[in-house]
Structure 1
Amino acid sequence: MAEFPLDGDMKVCVIGLGEVGLKFAGMAAASGYEVVGVDTSRERRDQATCAGEVSPS
């Protein structure tokens, strides 16, 4: 993952929590970013929430 400066206020929004989106959201969260994931599938949102890495929307 590319490195970006962390300035306490940076947030990431991932639209679509499929194969790529969920992995990207997890990597961003592990790097210290606040992450919000958006998906129309309740199952995908629940997966992200269970991982504890993404705030579902």
Structure 2
Amino acid sequence: MLNIFALSPSDIQHKIARHRAMAIAQLRSKSSLKVRTERYNAQMAKARFFEAMLAGGAK
């Protein structure tokens, strides 16, 4: 398993972009509104986690 704390800044930026794209895709899926919102929020939480990593963690 890859250690997420050993990623380079460019790798983290790619992960952020991927999670944001997946979040948008979840909104467009053919599921109920509740399911789409839950999946969107889960992907955005992951994107925000990586953004915090890139910014230097919690301050």
TM-score over 0.5 (shorter chain): no
Higher-Rg structure is 2
Q: TM-score range by the shorter chain?
A: 0.3 to 0.5
Higher relative CO (CA 8 A, sep ≥ 6), structure 1 or 2? 2
More helix by share: 2
Tell me the TM-score normalized by structure 1.
Answer: 0.37
Tell me the TM-score normalized by structure 2.
Answer: 0.36
More strand by share: 1
